[in-house]
């Protein structure tokens, strides 16, 4: 069994901030998950909002 990937502090705070902002805009949050292969946090919200939070970089959305 492999060791689980734990999000960085920067990822944790960005995730909390982004989820709070998304719900303020009445966007439902459907999935918050960490991609264990590359260590990115993935958020799926609203109809088409996808946010990626890498361990060492700024978050980005599509």
Q: What is the pLDDT along the chain (62 residues), one digit of tens a residue?
A: 678 889 999 999 999 999 999 999 999 999 999 998 899 999 999 999 999 999 987 999 98
Instruction: Report residue 19 as tokens.
Output: 């989820």
* pTM (predicted TM-score): 0.88
Cα–Cα distance measured from residue 39 to residue 54, given in angstroms and rounded to the nearest whole number: 7
Kindly provide the b/e burial profile for residues 34-46, where b requires at least 16 CB atoms within 10 angstroms of the residue's own CB.
beeeebbbebebe
Structure-derived torsion over alpha carbons of residues 41, 44, 46, 49, reported in degrees to the nearest 10 = 70
Cα–Cα distance measured from residue 29 to residue 31, given in angstroms and rounded to the nearest whole number: 6
Cα–Cα distance measured from residue 9 to residue 49, given in angstroms and rounded to the nearest whole number: 23
């Amino acid at each position: 069994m492999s060791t689980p990937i734990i999000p960085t502090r920067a990822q944790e705070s960005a995730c909390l901030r982004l989820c709070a902002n998304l719900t303020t805009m009445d966007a439902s949050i459907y999935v918050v998950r960490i991609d264990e292969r590359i260590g990115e946090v993935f958020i799926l919200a609203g109809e088409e909002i996808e946010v990626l939070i890498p361990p060492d970089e700024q978050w980005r959305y599509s």
